[in-house]
Structure 1
Amino acid sequence: MNFNMKKNFFEFFAGVGLIREGLSSDNWICSLSSDVSTDKKDTYVKNYGEKDFLLEDIWNISKDISALEGSAFLYTASFPCTDLSISGNRAGLAGIHSGTIKAFFEIIKIKKSKNEEPKVILLENVNGFLNSHNGKDIKHTIEAFSELDYYIDILEIDANFFTAQSRKRIFIIAVEKSLAEKEMKIKNENEEANWWTEFDSNKKIRTAQIKKVILNCPDLKWGIFKINFNNEIHNDLEKYIQKNLPMTSKKWWNQTRKEYLYSQMTRTHKDRLDSLVNAKNLSYSTVFRRMRNGKSTAEIKTDGIAGCLRTPRGGSSKQILIRSGNGSWDVRYLTSREYARLQGLRDSYKLPDIENKALFAMGDAVCVPVISFISKKILTPLYEQWISDNEQSPL
């Protein structure tokens, strides 16, 4: 049996392995993972072993692909968002971090010259990628795929349809032409009206921003998958909280720190907190520090959904948790285990021992059940179609 008949994948920009986690639940086999971060490698290896891991800069891999032995049906790349995020410097694909996607395309080109290119590619990034450099970055990316004879579908999925975290991310699925023509509805002039009807049928995951990208690049290779998406928003933050954390823990803030946080709230947010404190039942809310008119303010969020988890480069990036009710309230930061739960991870997943490293690992990762959803709805059906076409059985 050929190596490329496995239901396998190569994972680039692997981070701490949350794409692998999501795909593994759908029986995908990881043949290789790579990342440049030693911290991320340490966490990855603790959970999945070091057999498949390659610690290397992707630019170096693109210059010598000997480590990428054989083929994989699927390539995944959760490439750095630093230059694309609204919280980053917005240098786009010209930036030193997000620009590493160019090395990824070099690898695909070389593999294609050897007839070892992947049949399917999954890219993940922040939704800011859709408008980075006025849409030029996403256009260049889709052009690169089109030149390699892949057809593209783009989804924008918010993690709050799967866990109690607001986290919008875009997912670009690129499919090799012969497989795309069987599994995707291809955009063409003769059936364009029907194509757009299908596109507009599910606005939860095919947003106006994505539509704008396609309208601005009408001649590129577009296709869409028929997906039934009727998930409801998760607003059950309490489910993800470590309620057994003792009040003697140093994680809970002292009175002085609490009072300072309260002083940063506007009257509206103070009234909101006071109402929660006077309630008969305990409840959990998150608080965000934001700059308003040049002043740092604290804003309480009571919709049962955590904000988007971020890497803890500063205090304002950490999410604050308030437990309130029965006449009192207590404050602390969300723990790394709570971050992990909000990313859809099992509690048996081994986090870094240093809390800040664990927060960084989770803030820089993907939401696991979102990946599982994409796998079950798109990636596995593509693999099964390909197996059927080749009239062989997978290993």
Structure 2
Amino acid sequence: MARAGLGPGWRCLFANDFDPRKAAAYRANWGGAEMRVGDIHDLTAGDLPAAGPAGAACDLAWASFPCQDLSLAGGGAGLGGTRSGAFWGFWSLMAGLRDDGRPPRLLVLENVGGALTARGGADFEALCGALERLGYAFGALTLDAVHFLPQSRPRVFFVAAREEAAAGLHGPGPQAWTVSDGLRRAQARLPGSLARHWRWWRLPEPGPRSRSLADILQDSPNDAAWHAPEQTSRLLDLMTPAHRAKVAAAQAAGRRVVGTLYRRTRPDGSGARAQRAEVRFDGVAGCLRTASGGSSRQTILLVEGERIRSRLLSAREAARLMGLPDSYQLPAGYTDAYHLAGDGLAVPVVAHLREHLLEPLLGLGRPMQPAIAAE
């Protein structure tokens, strides 16, 4: 999805993923010559091709590394965990390219908001320190896909550049729409040795979002049949009074209202925990997750007066929520397709970064050079 967002002006020289199912989806859409399946820790800089004659450096290396050890749902291992620790494999590759005299001109790291707070902020400082040791100036942005797509999906993007940015690409302070309070606090805790290399990158705010949740729905998806009435009733029974009131308001609206629902485990008021169904009717889907069980899959709730129906979000609808076109080939199985979407990048967010920051950092008007993508 990084490749989709970068667009046809970029050429990918190398891609890597540990998951053969994701690699198969990549090959189905892009071809497979540059895809290497395996653990990033097993790669060396020698595996990464040069961008041109005489060992030319590539323009960009992109790393969307696993988030589980950084997320609230993870075990708190942070960058020392077996999954999110894949970042250090990527870092070793970049250090190898530097030592070969061909460091990428730009680096992008993408992860969840937990990257700002994991281990009390120590992992954020470690990421910044790692970029500084590679010889980059760096900054971060917190971008929510909701500005572009009907999905609430905040993510952190570190952008690092080896060359000084042109005027206007960074400023003396943060922008409101690209910097969360968590990022402000994390940056304020950086020691002076790292703060000197920090850049507050600037992006134009996008225009109004053109699509709502209702616009991406399929009429009758073959992989997400409507639930039996009893299943819908069970979901309604899992709601607290506040969420049942949302449903009642949707029923009273006098029109077709589309919402999304997740099942979550919440305190039940007696010291125990209970499963709850939480619904939203704001025209936006909740953040897609990687599907590992029924509660991790998002449910569509369709309210038409007294009639209420429910079903799982289809795989194609999940792909649309990530900004993928319907021509994008998804894995055949529902779980694999939904997992691919839930673990991916919002394509228009990448495109916005590419157009307004990455390409200007490389120099507007010149032909784009090859990129390396590592996911």
Tell me if both proteins adopt one fold, taking TM over 0.5 as the criterion.
Answer: yes
Residues 227-272 of structure 1 show CA distances to partners (whole Å, capped at 9, x for unaligned) of 22254467711011112448xx872111221111111112332232
What's 1:83 paired with?
69
Cα gap change, 1:141 to 1:250, in 2 (>3 Å): closer
Judge conservation of contact 1:234–1:305 (CA < 8 Å) in 2. Answer: no
Kindly provide the CA deviation profile for residues 9-47 of structure 1, in whole angstroms up to 9, marking residues without a partner as x.
xxxxxxxxx00110025x111111111111111111111
The reply to whether residue 361 of structure 1 matches residue 347 of structure 2 is no
102, 106, 112: which one aligns with 2:88: 102
8 A contact 1:286–1:306 mirrored in 2: yes
* Residue-by-residue CA offset, 1:144-176 (whole Å, 9 max, x unaligned): 111222001100001100101001100000100
Deviation at 1:274, TM superposition (A): 2.9
Q: Which segment is superposed worse, 321-330 or 118-127? A: 321-330
Residue 219 of structure 2 aligns with which residue? 243
Over 3 Å counting, the alpha-carbon distance change for 1:256 and 1:29 in structure 2 is same
Matched, 1:281 2:255: yes
CA deviation string 1:161-195 (max 9, x = no partner): 0101001100000100xx22545777xxxxxxx72
| Partners of 1:289 and 1:298 within 8 A in 2 | yes
In structure 2, the residue matched to 1:22 is 5
What corresponds to 1:212 in structure 2? Answer: 185
What are the ranges of 5 or more consecutive residues in structure 1 without an aligned counterpart?
A: 1-17, 187-193
**Which stretch of the first structure deviates more once superposed, 272-281 or 65-74?**
272-281
Higher-RCO chain (CA-CA 8 Å, sequence separation at least 6)? 2
Aligned to 2:319: 340
Q: TM-score, normalised by structure 1?
A: 0.85
Q: Which runs of 5+ in 2 are unaligned?
A: 51-56, 268-272, 371-375
**Equivalent in the alignment of 2:281:** 302
Q: Is 1:135 the counterpart of 2:121 in the alignment? A: yes
> Paired residue for 1:190?
none
Number of aligned residue pairs: 356
Distance 2:75 2:316 in 1: 29
Compared with structure 1, are the counterparts of its residues 143 and 184 closer, same or farther at alpha carbon in structure 2 (3 Å cutoff)?
farther
- Alignment partner of 2:363: what SS? helix
Residues 279 and 327 in structure 1, CA contact (< 8 A), matched pair in contact too: no
- CA deviation string 1:302-360 (max 9, x = no partner): 11111100011121111110111143111001011110000011000000000011111
Q: Is the 8 A contact 1:183 1:225 kept in 2?
A: no
Partner of 2:23: 41
From the superposition, tell whether residues 275 and 301 of structure 1 become closer, same or farther in structure 2 (CA, over 3 Å): same
* Amino acid across the alignment from 1:146: E
Match of 1:31 in 2: 13
The alpha-carbon deviation at position 212 of structure 1 amounts to: 1.6
Identity %: 29
Between the aligned partners of 2:224 and 2:108, the Cα distance in structure 1 is 42
Aligned residue in 2 for 1:150: 136
* SS across alignment from 1:285: strand
The equivalent of 2:373 in structure 1 is none
Q: Which residue of 2 aligns with 1:5?
A: none
SS of 2:289's equivalent? coil
| Cα gap change, 1:320 to 1:174, in 2 (>3 Å) | same
Alignment-mate amino acid for residue 225 of structure 1: W
Is the Cα contact below 8 Å between 1:161 and 1:234 reproduced in 2?
Answer: no
Q: What residue number does 1:258 align with?
A: 232
Bigger helix share: 1
Give the root-mean-square deviation of aligned CA atoms.
2.2
Aligned partner of 1:119 in structure 2 is: 105
Structure 1 counterpart SS, 2:65: coil
Name the SS of the counterpart of 2:129 in structure 1.
Answer: helix
- Aligned-partner Cα distance in 2 for 1:270–1:228: 39
**Residue 216 of structure 1: how far off its partner (Å):** 1.0
Residues 308 and 109 of structure 1: CA distance in aligned 2, closer, same or farther (over 3 Å): same
Cα distance in 2 between the residues matched to 1:102 and 1:356: 29
Deviation, structure 1 residue 279: 3.8
Contact 1:235–1:303 (CA under 8 A) maintained in structure 2: no
Alpha carbons of structure 1 residues 165 and 365: separation in structure 2 relative to 1, 3 Å: same
Partner residue of 1:225 out of 178, 201, 205: 201
Q: Per-residue CA shift, 1:258-293, capped at 9, x if unaligned?
A: 111111112332232233234432121011212222
Q: 1:67 aligns with which of 39, 47, 52?
A: 47
SS where residue 353 of structure 1 aligns?
coil
Indicate which of 319, 322, 329 corresponds to 2:308. 329
Aligned amino acid, residue 138 of structure 1: F
* Number of the residue aligned with 1:13: none
